[in-house]
Amino acid sequence: MKGPGGYQRRRRGQGVGGQGPRGPGVPAGEQKRSLIETALLIALIEESGHGYALIERVHELVGRQVYVDPGSVYRILRLLEEAGVVSSSWEPSSAGPRRRTYTLEPSGRELLRSWAAILTERGNALLHLSRIAEERLA
């Protein structure tokens, strides 16, 4: 299955299919994952980081009103890595076991650029609909 930016993604029990950017009619869980994917790419464009730090950064970016499941973040990071959008390496830690540090690849920057354009279009459409709703409800 292809993710929003066209990268290859595989799910347990499913073959590889095709899907464009997530949009209306997509289940809320899919939209939430798309939000987390986008926030992860933004966090990684700022600096490389290990899982826990990235989870905290995603919380800062999307706000605490959206529950960010740490397990989901690690699964998404693994999918992004399989797609070649991010890479990882094990780093020693003075405070305990080694940590996996994730880095955004050039293809991840391009993916984020395409997602940003999609988000801008959707944001403009939502703002337009919100204004129409307010006018009609007034």
| 51-104 pLDDT, tens digit each | 999 999 999 999 877 888 999 999 999 999 999 999 999 998 888 899 999 999
Is the domain spanning 28-137 CATH 3.30.950.10? The answer is no
Which tokens hold the place of 69? Answer: 């499941």
- The answer to whether 6 and 65 are in contact (CB under 8 A) is no
User: What residue ranges do the domains of the chain occupy?
Assistant: 28-137
User: pLDDT per residue over 91-138, tens digit each?
Assistant: 988 888 999 999 999 999 999 999 999 989 999 999 999 999 999 999
The whole model's pTM is what?
0.72
